[in-house]
Each structure stands twice: as C-alpha cells, then as structure tokens.
C-alpha cells in the first residue's frame, strides 16, 4: 500500500498527485492542494478520494509535501 491509501496521511492543504477517474487507464497524474477529503473509510485500495483546490476530484497516488 502506498501512502495515498491511508486517510491518516492526508490533511487539508498538503500537496498531492491524484489520478482522475477518466485518467485511470493512462495513469496520468494531476498535482494540486487538498481542499476536501471525500473518502470516509480509513483506507482505500485505489487511494483516498480528494477534491483539490481547483475543483478536480481524484484518488491520491502520492503525497508531495506534508
């Protein structure tokens, strides 16, 4: 499991890379700052779903800055 699969690793305001739903096949990542955490469970196998400050929703693949 990567760090993006645990909700406790993700806080509002940190910089992350997410994969959007329509980019799951290509694995294209988008960088941004977490505005809202959308996944309620403590872990998720595909990454915790978040909304970035620019409105993009995706699952966290990596945490860039804590």
List the domain range (segments joined by +) for residue 56: 3-65
Token pair for 14: 């940190």
Residue 42's pLDDT is: 97
Average pLDDT taken over every residue of the chain: 95
As separate numbers, helices (DSSP H) first and strands (DSSP E) second, the chain gives 0, 4
Q: How confident is the model over 16-39, as pLDDT tens digits?
A: 999 999 999 999 999 999 999 999
Non-local (6+) Cβ contacts of 35 within 8 A are 12, 50, 51, 52, 53
Task: CATH number of the domain at 39, please.
Answer: 2.30.30
Q: How many domains does the chain have?
A: 1
């Amino acid at each position: 499991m990567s760090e993006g699969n645990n909700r406790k690793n993700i806080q509002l305001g940190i910089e992350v890379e997410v994969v959007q739903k329509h980019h799951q096949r290509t694995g294209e990542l988008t960088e941004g700052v977490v505005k809202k955490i959308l996944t309620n469970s403590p872990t998720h196998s595909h990454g915790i779903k978040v909304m970035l400050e620019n409105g993009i929703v995706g699952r966290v693949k990596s945490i860039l800055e804590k």
